[in-house]
Amino acid sequence: MKRSATVLLTALAPVSWGTTYAVTTAFLPADRPLFTALARALPAGLGLLALARVLPRGAWWWRSAVLGALNIGAFFPLLFLSAYRLPGGTAAVVGSVGPLLVIGLSALLLGRRPTARALTAGAVAAFGVSLVVLKAAGSLDTVGVLAALVSTASMSTGTVLTKKWGRPEGVGPLALTGWQLTAGGLLIAPLALAVEGAPPALDARAVGGYLYLALANTAVAYWLWFRGIGRLTATQVTFLGPLSPLTAAVVGWAALDETLTPLQLTGMALAFGATVAGQLGRGGGGGAGAGAGAGRRGSGVGDGRVRSRGATGPAVQAGPAGPLAPARPAGPPAPAAPAGPLAPAQLAREHS
């Protein structure tokens, strides 16, 4: 699949997440953030596990638990906590620094040198989002700010580790998504019960809202997100994140009779432009053809990864058609083959 198509499909995830606020306020019971996080994660994860019919093996039991905690189990409750305690979209502004965190973590964990273009685009995206969602307010709640920062750091770390570890050989993004959502939901369940007590009574309107959140907003959206992480660089994926608050602003204007000022429209243009800029070039190393574990240093033994180039090049995963061709034996020198995208065989076993 062409990189542009992969970017567009991955972008559907944050666009879907941008509808969460409108659905929550219009359809769901008030003041039940942990139950809402649980209702999003656990049913979606169990449903994907039933479809994939693949369980983790070996090291992937603890890796799935770690990724599930970072991307779901910690991220969901902290995100809702910050949204409840911070005014005027401040949580979205704090979350918009995610691309900058991923750039730094990619340099630390994946060995990808940050580029001036990526750093500039990250700063512009955060500034543009602030113009869209930040409103005048009094003093900020310290707990809310900390929750927003930690939730952003948690998701950013989970994104980079998902890229670093890739997937086990023969396992597609559907199963990987199911593992993480289930692990995250199981972590949220006891917390929701201890803090909020028994689940609230639900009417048909609330049931419809929770079904939307669990299916389209979580199961499908996170499958597209993790699928994108496997085909794009972590930086390119996280630069799609600002589409979430932009979508929330547009949905608020279209469905909730909210207004958009010229300053907000300017911010939307800046944030969208930064999102597009984050997809240009190599994004700090590797492109759409980079494997799910691109940038990983060292041996790939144990999770189906093989090195096809030097330490600074992307890792390549053996496709289902067989292992990569053996290295060229010693002999007369031959011209080096140009770097190019991975063979389509790599993607043959992925659920789509």
Q: Residue 285's pLDDT is what?
A: 39
Of 39, 41, 26, the C-alpha closest to 200 is 39
116 in a structural domain: yes
Give me the pLDDT at residue 233, please: 87
Using pLDDT thresholds of 50, 70 and 90, give the confidence band for residue 90: low
Give a yes or no: residue 319 inside a domain: no
Determine, yes or no, domain membership for 78.
yes
pLDDT of residue 9: 95
CA distance 340 to 244: 32
Residue listed under structure tokens 């603890």: 62
In a domain, residue 314? The reply is no
Range of the domain at 70: 3-277
Give the model's confidence band at 281: pLDDT under 50 very low, under 70 low, under 90 confident, else very high: low
Q: What is the pLDDT of residue 316?
A: 35
Rounded mean pLDDT of 259-267?
82
Kindly tell me the sign of the dihedral angle through the C-alpha atoms of 93, 94, 96, 100: positive
- Least reliable range by pLDDT among 86-95, 129-138, 340-349: 340-349
In a domain, 54, yes or no: yes
| The total number of structural domains that make up the chain | 1
pLDDT band at 223 (very low <50, low <70, confident <90, very high): very high
Give residue 338's pLDDT band: very low, low, confident or very high (50, 70, 90): very low
Q: Residue type for 272, please? A: F
Is 352 part of a structural domain of the chain?
Answer: no
In a domain, 224, yes or no: yes
pTM of full prediction above 0.85: no
Q: What is the pLDDT of residue 87?
A: 55
> Is 163 within a domain?
yes
Please choose, from the candidates 84, 15, 13, the residue with its C-alpha nearest in 3D space to the C-alpha of residue 44: 13
Q: What pLDDT, on the 0 to 100 scale, is given for residue 321?
A: 40
